[in-house]
Every structure is written in structure tokens, then in C-alpha cells.
Amino acid sequence: MLPERQCCAQLCPVQTTTMPPKTECLQDRKWWCFLLSSVFTFLAGLLIVLLWRFFAFLFTRKQPAELAAPGCPNSEPKKEPKRQGKQEFEGTFMTEAKDWAGELISGQTTTGRILVVLVFILSIASLIIYFIDASNEEVERCQKWSHNVTQQVDLAFNIFFMVYYFIRFIAASDKLWFMLEMYSFVDYFTIPPSFLSIYLGRTWIGLRFLRALRLMTVPDILQYLNILKTSSSIRLAQLVSIFISVWLTAAGIIHLLENSGDPFEFQNQQRLSYWTCVYFLIVTMSTVGYGDVFCQTILGRTFLVFFLLVGLAIFASCIPEIIDLIGTRPKYGGTLKNERGRRHIVVCGHITYESVSHFLKDFLHEDREDVDVEVVFLHRKPPDLELEGLFKRHFTTVEFFQGSIMNPIDLQRVKVHEADACLVLANKYCQDPDAEDAANIMRVISIKNYSDDIRVIIQLMQYHNKAYLLNIPSWDWKQGDDVICLAELKLGFIAQSCLAPGFSTMMANLFAMRSFKTSPDTQAWQNDYLQGTGCEMYTETLSPSFTGMTFPQASELCFTKLKLLLLAIEIKGEDGRDSKISINPRGSKIQASTQGFFIAQSADEVKRAWYYCKACHEEIRDETLIKKCKCKNLATFRKGVRAIQMVGRASDVGKEKEITLLGNKNTPTAMPNSIMSAAKQVNKVKPINRPADKGSPNQNYNRAQQEEGSYAGYQLAYEVKKLLPTTRGGSAGTNINSNGIQIGIADDQAKDFDFEKTEMKYDSTGMFHWSSAKSLEECILDRNQAAMTVLNGHVVVCLFADPDSPLIGLRNLVMPLRASNFHYHELKHVVIVGAVDYIRREWKMLQNLPKISVLNGSPLSRADLRAVNVNLCDMCVILSAKVPSNDDPTLADKEAILASLNIKAMTFDDTIGVLTQDETAVTKQFDPDGLNCAGGPIVLQRRGSVYGANVPMITELVNDSNVQFLDQDDDDDPDTELYLTQPFACGTAFAVSVLDSLMSTTYFNQNALTLIRSLITGGATPELELILAEGAGLRGGYSTDESLANRDRCRVGQISLYDGPLAQFGEAGKYGDLFVSALKSYGMLCIGLYRFRDRSSSCDASSKRYVITNPPDDFSLMPTDQVFVLMQFDPGLEYKPTSRNGGRAKDDNS
């Protein structure tokens, strides 16, 4: 037993003294070495800086008495040498080194930004290494540096940090304060221990968690990289970085103290992972404190007591502010991301559910070709729920961003510089139209200032504000910039309806994208109308097969063969650059790669004009079979066209000589005889049998037909209603019938129409009739004067306006009626019924337009309406310039609706305005000799309407839904869209909302707006707009060959099939035959029909007509139909009354 005990006694000491090498190494802890290395490094650096300053102070110190002036011990020369000595001591080397180091660490240079970002990345990498070591190892570990991979990587990082520290030290202007910076302490407590671990052969996790403080530099780095730009985003980044840095750093301190224990025995430590400490800190900072984790060491608890004072303050202040910034961050912020190079447009201005829905419905219509364009809306306010739902339904093609178009940062967000175009929408129902226009013009200025080459399409309310756009240097309509003036176009549409009732409806349907679906349940007239609403205006390049054809030949081919209606072509100038759109040109031939303007149901149908090949498709009867052929010539031409488009040059287009319309103009009797011939044919007056002498119209007609081909007989008057002038005859300027009533329209005063004294003039461009300025008082009529003058075939404008109402621009209504492609005697007299105080404000723009009278009265007064013979007018226009009320927008049209219903309820005597002359008198007036003796032309007047419901009328509405109140006999649903209602289909109502479609039309086809504007404004040109922009109104000019040539342009007309040269087609004729005959014989281009809604002849039948746009060629015609035509200018001789000595009328070609 003893030997065993001795053996055990001998073995036991061996077991207690024999330990693993690592455990034995940790018996003697060296944490204080690592800590002292950091402290000594800091103290050594501080000592060096202090010694440097001390020696510098001694070196630069001079005796004050050597340089100071006697008696001035504190003078300035005492201080100056001290500064000079200091500069000499520092020398140029230190200055250059400091500048170099400053540029290197600053974020102003590219190198500096790269270095700052690199330091941040390596700091985070060093922090990640700390996370790894703190999760897997103890606080102190005995392991050779060569075997510890993480320490090797961390040492490499710390070498870089040390170099960066010295660069910062050199760049610092105050070295002492630099030593006391936070990031300097981070380097003191992380870099020296890394080097000491190599010598000691052990690692201490130590204070490496201080690298988390580098997270506070995140906002600065993101600003250097131009990522953070707004103050809210910068503040949010600062709060988040501060909170996370303090959180991670405090967790590192708790981890170190709890895993080490209290000195000096270090017996009460507890094993906590770093991430457990992170969890403990966030629970403690939030004052929850579950108690599952707590501090055991005294040092840990002491630190926690002091940290809570800071941590709670940070948590209580940062977290609410962070939540507030995130919560108030706009939902529609961010930046547009273009995918696959997809095009996009930016839409701004008045963004509401109504405006956006109308715009998107037209822009994204299925009839357009594949539209791969993203629509980006930019607005200051977030969308409401209704608008947000609309955006969600179109999320694949629509995006919304909250911001201001006036802010360049927001323009950058939506990438305006890369956008295909920028569209600015206007508020059509605003209280102050001028203020709305000013705001939109400012938006254009902001857009053009940001990107001067961006294409801008803007809506404006008032015409006179268009002038301000010309002040923008980068505004260029030749580059695609365009303005849609709602007042100009609205009144232009209404003006054309005065010439051809229903034309406004036809044109509005043409530029709006709509799909028609006929139904057996709907009435026949509705199906005919809906088929026309499906037509739109398109452009397409004409195929080589059209080259060399005249326009009528090409139009006939398109209609009969391709089932397309060719309206106009683009004619290039001689240099191939400037081009103009010519509507139904009479003498132009189709050149290569000519662009045509078509009316068709869809874009696919229009492609037939490009695919058509005479060699391949001439025998095809079914137009749907006309597809792209493999003809060699077509492929070659296509390739050539693409090359021309790439180079941006076009072949020269030679000018064709215009066809002379009259045969022998010098024949003295040619003019009166041609007038007689036209009167016989159009008005069914009993003809006078006269021998066909040398100057007969038949010989002139035959001669012209032989010389000019198919164009002949242009001396025929095309309009049925107003063929000849109606003016006062006799030497005294009046013509009294048997009842003592004055006959003829009120052509102002008789002296104004003395053609021997007054020369007919045009404006400086030759596009409009012009007269010398007249004062408003000269044109004002009182009720008695208007009643004593029998007005007939005129236009009555019922205008509701307060004296301070916004100007609507009545010039835009009158100017199309004064186009120079009308002869002077064809101009319709315009009578304005309204408040003269308002008209006086508009008069400056009307004073140079002829044939205008003003009745100071009320459009609701039946006495005033009877005084102006509203039952004898060609059109009664009801307008309102009053500002709609915000309380109830539906009441904006109350005056217009009341006026319309008031006129419809009136009855008239059918004898007023009807001539009481016998057949002998009529025959005498038709005799050329009788015409000369009378000194004036025959008087042909419109028979008055007995019932007010039959008065031609068009009412302008502000609110679409109010159209239901205009017609009491319709069954329109209040929710029915405007274009489907009976008043709009009949052309008796017009609302400005139909012009919304022009934004999309103009974007997809820049020339479409030019075509529409030239059609409805009577020929306004950019040059004329520059003149009008001066604010002085129309300027008169002397007639030149160039200005008179501008008169030769087509105009809108309406031809009756009941009588006249086209009456043969009224009896069971086909529309296709009518189209071809009118085009070949008279050069008239038929574009639609105006037909009675009720075809029955019963007494209850309605007199309302509706519009049929471009009916098919097999469409049956009726005698009561009226045809919309684009007719050529008739250069027939202007009429001049004979002189008092009975001489013949003189020719006047002007």
C-alpha cells in the first residue's frame, strides 16, 4: 500500500503542474501591454507636436527692440517679422507637402474621392474581421501571428491606415487638434496593438470595435459620390450612421468587459458572444430590459450606467426623427429607370384624374401603331385615390413622380434630357386663364433652361399669350416645339361651322382616337355617325407608283382602290428643307417620297398607300389584299428613302405651274355671263335663252376644258347659300321694295362699299381681308338701326361677358371668316350681340377686319335677337367669357343653355326677309343689261326660319355633361360621352374638352397640328403669328403677285345635292360616284355628308342634321344631303358696280 501511495503522491504534482501550452500562456495576461502601446503612441505623438511648437516658437522669436520703432513698443512692425520668420522656417517644402496631402484626402478631386472610399471600405473590412474574431475566439488568445490569418489581413489593413494617418497629419493645419480628433483615437487604439501582437505571439481583441465609428463617414462618402442630394436624405443617413456606430461600439465595450472580468483577478467573467451584446444593448437602450442578459462585472455595470444616459438620449431623439424622415419620404420619389432603351415622355402641368384619363385614353389607343413609349407624370402633389387607381391600371406604361418641374433636381429624376418630348397640360376650367398660361410658360422656361433641345408641346388658354413663348431663346417650332392654343382652336372650329355647319364635329372626331362599334339596337343615323367617328388622321409616305400623278389622280386612286381619303400632301421647297402642307392642291404633282395626309380607320389601313405597287396590285379588287410586295423597284426605292432620311436631305422638288382657271378673262361679257350661268345652275332660276355668241360662257368653258383638261368651270359658284353679293343698289345706295323694306345685308355704311373710292386690301401676308381701322362707335348699332336693316346670311354672335371677364380672343372667330380665299362679297357679315364694355376691350384686335357690327344688348333679349334677324342668319354662335364659379362648375354654362333654349322657343314671321319681286323683276335682274342698269347684283336671300328650333346654331359649353340640356327631344344618358351625344353629332354643340386629343396627335405627328390649324384658322402661318405676336393686330399691305398667290388655297364648303351641279347624285346616287365626279369636274374633295336625322317627311320629323365622316364608296345618297367639300379657290373676277354713266363693270383680278 505504501508504494502505491508514494506513487500517487509522486504523480499528483505532475498532474497539477502539467497544463496545455495555450492555458499556461494565458496564465500571464498581457492585455495591459496592448493598452499601453496605444497610450504611449498617443503620448509620444502629443509630445512630438508640443516639442515642435516649442522649438518653432524659439526659432521664430526675435528681439522686439531690433525692429520696433522708438517710442512704439506695440506697433505693427513688431509683429510682421515674426510672421515672415515663421514662413521662412516652414519653407516651401512643408507648404507643398501640406497642399499635396490636402488634395489627396479631400473629396474635391477624383483621387481624393477614391482614397476616402477606399479607407471606408477597408475600415468596414477590418470591422468584419473583428466580428469574426469576437464571435469565435476569446478576448485574449495565444497564437503565433504567422498562424493567424485574420490577424495577417488586419495587419495589412492597419499598415494602410497608418499611411493614411500620416497623410492626414501632414494635411492638418493644426496638428495639436488633429491629435485629439475622434478618428485619430480610433487609429491609436487599433494600429499599435496589431504590430505588438507579432512580438508577443498573442492577440488581444481589445478596442478594435472602434472601427465601427468609421460608419459615421457614410453620409460624407455618399455625398462625394453624388448619391445623396437632398437635405432629408443626408439627414437620414447621418442619423442612421450615428445610431448604428454608437450601438456597435457600446456592444464591443460590453463584450470586452464581460468576457474579461474585473481586474485584477479576472475571475467573474461570463462568456457572451458579440451579437448577444448587440441584442442586450438595443433592448437596454429601448428601456425594455427583458432580463435574460445582464452584466455581471462591476466595470460592465459601471459603463452601462453612464452609457444609458447617452444611449437613451440617442434612442429617444434619433429613432423618432428617423421614422419621421422615412414616413414623410414621398411615396413617389426616386428616379426614373429606363428599361431596354425605351422612349419616354414627361407630362406636367394640370395633372388631375380627368385630364390624365382623357390624355391616356387617346395616347394609348389601340388604333395607333405599337406605341412603345412610357408616359411619366411629374406633379407637386401626390395623386388622389382615383388617380392612383388609374396609374395602377396602366402600370406597364405609366409612372408618376412627385416633384416640381421648376426644380432641376426633379427634372434630373425623370430624365428630361433623355425624354422624347415634354407635354404641358393646362387647366381648361381655371378662374384666371392668364395666370394659368403664365405658370405653364414658366414651366416651359424651366424645361428649356435644363435641356434646350427637348421638344415641348404646351397647351395655352389665351391666344395673346403665345407671344411670350417667342421670348424663350431655345423655342423653335421647326424643331418640333408646338403650342396648342385652346381659345384659337376652339373659336376656329366654331368659325368653320359658320361656313359649313357640322364641320367642327367632323374635325374633332378626326384627330381624336376612337373605335366605333355599330349595333343593330342603335338607330340607323347613329350607326352612320359612329362609323365616321372611327376615322382618324394619319400620315404615310406615298409609294413610287404615285410619282408623277397629279393630286386629284392620286386622291381618286386612293379612294377607289385603297379605300383611303387623301386630304393633303407635304410639298418640299426647292432647297429640300422648308416644306409646306398643301391641302387639295390643284396643280401639284406627286414627287418621290412625298408624305400624304389620310383619313382612315387605323394605321394599318394607311400602310396600303406605301405598299401599293401598280405592277402588282392594279388588278386587285379587294383592298385588304394590298400587302407589301416583293417588287424589285419597291425594295430599291425603300432603301433609297432610308438613305435619304439618314443623311437628312431630300431631293429637290420642282415647282409646277398653276393651272389657269378661266378661259378668256379679257372678254368684256365673260364675268357677268358666267355669273348668270352659275345662278341658273345652282339656284334653279328660270334660264334666259340667249344666243351663244363669242363671249358666251359655254365657249369659254369649252375652251378652258380643251386647254386645261379636267379642271374647268371654276367660274361656277360652289356654295349654294351665298353665291352673289347682297348690297344696296341705286345711286343713293339703297334699294327699296314695294313694302318699303331695305333689301340686302347691313354692309356697315353704304360709303364703306363704294368700290370706286375704296380699294380692296389684304393684310401684309395676303392671307386675310383687311380694312382700315374703324372705331367701335362707327360699328355699334342700336336696336332700331338693326331692325331697320334687314340682315340676311350673316353670323350672329351671342356673347355673354362681364366688363372684367377674361378676353377670349374674338379675332380667332372672325379671322377664319375673313380669309382671303373668299371674295369680298362672299364674306359673311358678323353681328356681335353683347355688352359693349367688354367688346371695347376686344376691339383693338377686330378693328381691321371688315363687315363687323355690334349691338349693345343682351343675348337673352328676344327683342335684340329679332332686331338682328337671328332667324335669317347662317349661324348663331353662343359664347360665354364669364369665369366659371368654383362652387358649382355645372352652372358655368347656364347663360349659354338659356340662350339656346330661348332661341329655340321663338317663332318668326316667314315673310320677313323674303323677296316680294315678281318673275319679271327677277328676270330683269338676271339680264346682264338689267344688272348694269340696276347698278348692283341680284339679291338672293335665305328664307327665314319660322321656328327657332330650325335656326342654325352652335353653342360652346364648358362642362361636357351640360350637353344633355341643349336638346329636349334627345334621349342621351347624362353619363354619355360628349362625342356620342346628339347635339355634338349634329354639330350644334362644342366643348373645349375635345381639344385634349390634340396633345397626343401633335406628339405622334407634328404636321397634323399644322394641317388642322391651316384648315380651321383660314390659313394662319408662323410668319403671321410673329406679326400678331407684336400686339398691334393685322397690318395691311400692298398687293403683290406673291401675296395674291396666297389666296389660291382651298377652303371648306358645303354643297347641296338638292340642286346645283351635283344634283344628279342626289337621287339614289352612290357616294363613290359623287366623289370622283366632284374631284374630276370641279376639283372639289368630298370629305363627308351632313344628313337629316329623320328621313321621313312627316310633320313631326326633326330638322336636325348629323355628320357622316368619309362614308364608304357604296353609301347611298339622298337629295336632302349636303356634302362637306374642300373646294378650290375660285379666281373669278371680283365684282365692281357700274359707274353712274352706265359703263360696263371693270375687271379686277385682285
Is 190 within a domain?
Answer: yes
Closest by CA to 33, choosing from 255, 201, 183, 180, is 201
Does 1147 have pLDDT greater than 80?
no
What per-residue confidence (pLDDT) applies to 22?
55
Does 930 have pLDDT greater than 50?
no
Instruction: Indicate whether 138 and 278 sit together in one domain.
Output: yes
What's the pLDDT tens digit per position in 812-847? 999 999 999 898 888 999 999 999 999 999 998 899
945: Cβ contacts below 8 Å, ≥ 6 apart: 871, 872, 908, 951
Instruction: Indicate whether 183 and 102 sit together in one domain.
Output: yes
Does 67 have pLDDT greater than 70?
no
* φ/ψ (deg, to 5) at 477: -70, -20
* Domain stop point among 646, 680, 708: 708
Cell match 334666259: residue?
688
Beginning with the edge strand found earlier in the chain, give each strand of the sheet holding 953-957 in spatial order.
780-781, 852-856, 830-834, 795-800, 875-880, 953-957, 989-991
Does 933 have pLDDT greater than 90?
no
- Taking residue 1040's Cβ as centre, other Cβ atoms within 10 Å add up to 12
Does 374 have pLDDT greater than 50?
yes
Confidence of residue 759 (pLDDT cuts 50, 70, 90): low
Instruction: Indicate whether 382 and 234 sit together in one domain.
Output: no
Task: Find the range with the poorest average confidence among 618-622, 771-775, 1039-1043.
Answer: 618-622
Is 314 within a domain?
Answer: yes
Which has more confidence, 832 or 220? 832
What per-residue confidence (pLDDT) applies to 708?
38
Question: What mean pLDDT comes out for the span 603-631?
Answer: 79
Confidence of residue 1134 (pLDDT cuts 50, 70, 90): low
Separation CA 907–CA 870 (nearest Å)? 11
Q: Which residues pair with 566 in a beta bridge?
A: 598
Task: Compute, in degrees rounded to 10, the torsion defined by CA atoms 1038, 1041, 1042, 1047.
Answer: 90
Per cent of the chain over pLDDT 70 is 76
* Number of domains forming the structure of the chain: 5
Instruction: Indicate whether 114 and 169 sit together in one domain.
Output: yes
* 230 grid coordinates: 437632398
Instruction: Indicate whether 83 and 121 sit together in one domain.
Output: yes
Q: Is the dihedral of CA 1047, 1048, 1054, 1056 positive or negative?
A: positive
Separation CA 727–CA 178 (nearest Å)? 100
* 1049 grid coordinates: 388655297
User: Considering the chain, what is the average pLDDT of its residues?
Assistant: 77
Could you give the maximum distance between any two Cα atoms of the chain, in Å?
A: 174
Separation CA 836–CA 781 (nearest Å)? 11
Task: Find the range with the poorest average confidence among 67-81, 483-497, 977-991, 1050-1064.
Answer: 67-81
What per-residue confidence (pLDDT) applies to 443?
95
* 432 grid coordinates: 384666371
Instruction: Indicate whether 323 and 349 sit together in one domain.
Output: no
16: Cβ contacts below 8 Å, ≥ 6 apart: none
Q: What pTM does this model have?
A: 0.68
* Domain stop point among 976, 994, 1012: 994
DSSP string, 176-203: HHHHTSHHHHHHHTTHHHHHHHHHHTEE
Kind plus residue range of the DSSP H or E element containing 599: strand 595-600
* Domain stop point among 456, 480, 504: 480
Separation CA 3–CA 617 (nearest Å)? 127
Separation CA 782–CA 551 (nearest Å)? 50
Separation CA 269–CA 540 (nearest Å)? 87
Is 608 within a domain?
Answer: no
Confidence of residue 941 (pLDDT cuts 50, 70, 90): low
897: Cβ contacts below 8 Å, ≥ 6 apart: 955, 962, 965, 966
Separation CA 427–CA 440 (nearest Å)? 10
Cα 677-1057-1127 angle, rounded to 5 deg:
70
Confidence of residue 791 (pLDDT cuts 50, 70, 90): confident
Instruction: Indicate whether 118 and 184 sit together in one domain.
Output: yes
Is 855 within 8 Å of 775 (Cβ atoms)? no
Instruction: Indicate whether 284 and 212 sit together in one domain.
Output: yes
Is 460 within 8 Å of 386 (Cβ atoms)? no
Task: Find the range with the poorest average confidence among 470-484, 499-513, 1090-1104, 1131-1145.
Answer: 1131-1145
Cell match 339680264: residue?
927
Does 938 have pLDDT greater than 50?
no
Is 735 within a domain?
Answer: no
Is 222 within a domain?
Answer: yes
**Residue 740 Cα distances to 262, 734, 737, angstroms:** 129, 11, 5
Is 982 within 8 Å of 1104 (Cβ atoms)? yes
Does 653 have pLDDT greater than 50?
no
Most confidently modeled range among 359-363, 666-670, 1037-1041: 359-363
Most confidently modeled range among 75-89, 964-978, 985-999, 1090-1104: 985-999
120: Cβ contacts below 8 Å, ≥ 6 apart: 214, 217, 218, 221
Domain that holds residue 905: 750-994
Is 242 within 8 Å of 311 (Cβ atoms)? no
What per-residue confidence (pLDDT) applies to 950?
87
CATH of the domain at 368: 3.40.50.720
Is 74 within a domain?
Answer: yes
Q: What helix, strand, coil percent values describe the chain, rounded to 5?
A: 50, 10, 40
Is 182 within 8 Å of 217 (Cβ atoms)? no
Q: Name the E strands within 163-280.
A: 202-204
What's the pLDDT tens digit per position in 668-690? 333 333 333 333 333 333 333 33
861 sits in the region (left: phi over 0; alpha: psi -120 to 50; else beta) called beta
What's the pLDDT tens digit per position in 1049-1089? 888 999 999 888 888 888 878 999 999 999 999 889 999 99
Confidence of residue 943 (pLDDT cuts 50, 70, 90): low
Instruction: Indicate whether 46 and 184 sit together in one domain.
Output: yes
Instruction: Indicate whether 989 and 1070 sit together in one domain.
Output: no
Separation CA 984–CA 967 (nearest Å)? 10
Is 624 within a domain?
Answer: no
Instruction: Indicate whether 320 and 393 sit together in one domain.
Output: no
Is 489 within a domain?
Answer: no
Instruction: Indicate whether 119 and 260 sit together in one domain.
Output: yes
